Amino acid sequence: MKGGRILGSAGSVRARVEGIHAEELINQAALAGIRVWDIERVERAVVFSTDEKGLKQLRRLEREKGLVLKIIRERVLMVWLRRVRRRKFWLAGFFCFCFALYYLSGFIWAIEVQGTEKIDREELLDYVSDYGLHRWGKVRRLELNAIEQNLYLKFPDIAWVAIERSGTKVSIRLAEKQSNPMQRGAVIDIVAAYDGIIFEMMVLKGIAQVKPGMTVAKGDVLIAGYRDGEQVVNAAGAVKGKVFVEAYGEAAVEETAQRYTGDQRQVDILELWGKKIPLSRRPKYQHYEAEESSTAIFRNLIVLRRLTYSEVSLETNHFSPEEAEELARYRALVAAHAQLDPDAVIIKKEVENLSQHSPFICRVFITAETDIGSEMVQFRGD
């Protein structure tokens, strides 16, 4: 009866019949083509499971044989199917709604524009609408790359632009070009880019705020620009200092690395008044990362959510203790050098192992000489 159990998993009923032996029930069911399973004797009755079709046929046997048939429990799906069968118009409306939702998902429902300040938002939307990017436009006809290139030509103030589609929503994200602060009359200072000790300084323009031998913190003004009446004097010069950089690295004899397989699946979920209805199945990935986007159809009561699952594989790398210790040292050095200017001159390097077993932790302390001055705009009064 295992096969009957599987076939009835879509909807089954547990019933109890009196006035018949188990063997007779099996014979009668076999003659009538009724699927029954999980048959057991309980006192003077026979308890069994069947499907909806079998229940109807047993009702006829009940009248013909004078049996007493009682339903113990029904699965939710079976009750739902019985109700749906009685409400055919509701079922037809449900399928029409799903079809309409699927059809409308091929259109643009909303357009979002981010980053506009000087550029007129309405002018930008009017321009992209000529290329089919407008509300209720067809998604399949969009050529987003071509629209991006044309936006650069139409609006010279755009530094970069990206058009992305997420379900039925299209986002236009852009950054506008910044005008030269010197042309706006702003004062330029030279400030410290690192914490350190100054050992050499040359001032070409501006007023020195520090002198060699002084300790400065990142962001301190080294050479200040100023205004001389209507004339702006921007700071110019070079400041060299001794800086100190510290970084850590860690490695274990066994490490798990994550790698994307390139396989992605999208799952749509319709949320009606807080109740979520999956419109597609979730992929059976063992390991994955998920990103969610949503589009409000009617306020926050009807929302279409889209989950994008990206499959990842986990790879385990094994190292010897010596290899793991060397890897921790390498990672610490990379992290330390990333904090320095490429032209920095390293005058001292200290490497310290903080752990003698896995995971190995390494500390690197670097003393270097470099140009620590960096230009920064300061808006000052007269």
Number of domains in the chain: 3
Q: What is the pLDDT of residues 271-310, one digit of tens each?
A: 888 888 888 888 889 899 998 888 777 667 788 888 999 9
Q: Do 72 and 9 belong together in one domain?
A: yes
Q: Please report whether residue 92 resides in a domain.
A: no
Residue 243 lies in a domain: no
Domain that holds residue 119: 110-176
- Same domain, yes or no, for 76 and 114? no
Answer yes or no: is 49 within a domain.
Answer: yes
Q: Backbone phi, then psi, for 283, in 5-degree steps?
A: -65, 150
Q: pLDDT, tens digit, for every residue of 317-341?
A: 999 999 999 999 999 999 999 999 8
- Cα(382)–Cα(377) distance, integer angstroms: 15
Q: How far, CA to CA in Å, does 119 sit from each of 116, 122, 176?
A: 6, 9, 8
Res. 269: pLDDT tops 90 = no
Residue 226, domain member (yes or no): no
Angle at 89 between CA 83 and CA 92, to 5 degrees: 100
Distance (Å, rounded) from C-alpha 294 to C-alpha 308? 11
For position 133, which CATH number holds?
A: 3.10.20.310
| CATH number for the domain that contains residue 12 | 3.30.70.260
Asked whether residue 350 is domain-assigned, the answer is no
Domain end call among 136, 158, 176? 176
Q: Is residue 77 part of a domain?
A: yes
**Are 60 and 120 in a shared domain?**
no
**Do 59 and 118 sit in the same domain of this protein?**
no
> Domain boundary residue among 318, 341, 372?
318
Domain boundary among 176, 194, 225: 176
**List of residues 6+ apart from 357 with CB closer than 8 A:** 321
Query: pLDDT digits over 131-158, tens only?
Result: 888 888 888 778 888 898 899 888 988 8
Closest CA to 279 of 307, 298, 309: 307
- 259, 273 contact by CB (below 8 A): no
Give the model confidence (pLDDT) of 180-209 as tens digits. 555 556 788 999 999 999 999 999 999 999
Residue 23 lies in a domain: yes
Rounded to whole angstroms, the Cα distance separating 228 from 337 reads 41
Does 74 map to a domain? yes
| Percent with pLDDT over 90 in the chain | 32
Is 76 found in the same domain as 118?
A: no
